Amino acid sequence: MIKLYDYLPCPYGQKVRIALAEKSLNYELIEVDVTRGANRRPEFIRLNPFGRVPVLIDDETTVYDSTIVIEYLEDEYPEPPLLPALNSSALRARARQFEDFADTSFTPQVGQLMAEQAKAEAERDPTRIQRVQRGLENILNYINRELEGQEFLAGPFSVADIAFAPRLLVLKEMGFEAAFNRPHVEGWIKRLSERAAIANLKGLSVEPLPGAA
């Protein structure tokens, strides 16, 4: 039986839950309340010494880091695939690059915007907000160009699209129109939203994660 230790609003845990749903894998969800420091307790640190969710346990195997968890799921449960075919090395590299780009650039910047918006208006840093918004505009303009002529970022639906979905789908609620003047992004968002694994995802929220900055 698969167990997933997760904090529902965490976009990296959401990545893994989308992957599990796409593969129709049953699992036990164990919620880790990071707002109360549950991720720093010894019993959790034994699972992940970094003290971060998500952590997946599959029988005797423990895996942490969302990217590595999804790679494990691809190896252990290859159908349906969430990476392009093995003989498509270039597309597989492209999918991994976009996943990393989402994880290290897009998702953190949305988190920074969330953190600023969560503050009292008088405490917000307008310079920082403008800087982050410009960064997101640049990313989305780039994605719009990369999506021209295709439905998803790396051929078929893949980890590349999964990695963007959690934070992409809350931007509108934050007053940020990701699809404005970006027709390819607009179509992409619609296709992502129509997938059951994403449409039924729990925990989508504009609340910043503890420690977000």
Residues annotated as catalytic (active site), given as ranges? 10
SS3 of residue 206 by DSSP: coil
Residue type, 199: A
Residue 198 in contact with residue 15, Cβ under 8 Å?
no
If phi > 0 it is left, if psi is from -120 to 50 it is alpha, else beta; for residue 65 that is: left
Pairwise CA distance, residues 18 & 21, whole Å: 5
Q: CA-based diameter of the chain, in Å?
A: 55
- How many Å apart are CA 185 and CA 178, to the nearest integer? 7
Q: Which residues of 89-108 are buried (b: 16+ CB within 10 A; e: fewer)?
A: eebbebbbebbebbbeebbb
Residue 131 CA to residue 2 CA, distance in Å, equals: 41
